[in-house]
Amino acid sequence: MTDAKTTIDETVKANTVVLYMKGTKAMPQCGFSSRVAGVLNYMGVDYLDVNVLADDGIRQGIKDYSDWPTIPQLYVNGEFVGGCDIITEMTLSGELDKLFEDSGVTYDKGAAEKIREANA
């Protein structure tokens, strides 16, 4: 049996984009998770969603792993990117587009631009 840190480490390294969230990408269970999943879904990003509500060890373990106190948490190519506020800012500034492009992540640039237009 592996501990939560090992499971998390293996998950973020084996998947290009991972979102640790409350609920699932199809049914988020908190507003912050819903916002980040909504951005990724709208932009057509292929990502693994991990429901921290399904496992208390993972729920606390992800906070310890990243040294970040809140959920959701986005990882790209094994690196912690941020939580809801950071992902929102990166989306609006275009930094998230650049991160995806630099990381080889396929996404809908037109959708990203629509998000920015709607929030201008």
Predicted model pTM: 0.95
Tally of domains within the chain:
1
| Structural domain of 95 | 4-118
Residue 32, domain CATH:
3.40.30.10
pLDDT (tens, 9 = 90+) of the chain, 120 residues, equals 469 999 999 999 999 999 999 999 999 999 999 999 999 999 999 999 999 999 999 999 999 999 999 999 999 999 999 999 999 999 999 999 999 999 999 999 999 999 999 998
Q: Specify the pLDDT at position 120.
A: 85
If 0-12 CB within 10 Å is exposed, 13-18 middle and 19+ buried, where does residue 27 land? exposed
For the annotated binding site for [2Fe-2S] cluster, the residues are 30
Between the alpha carbon of residue 33 and those of residues 4, 71, 102, the distances in Å are 21, 7, 24
pLDDT of 113 reads 97
Question: Which residues are known binding-site members?
Answer: 30
Structure tokens at 28: 């988020």
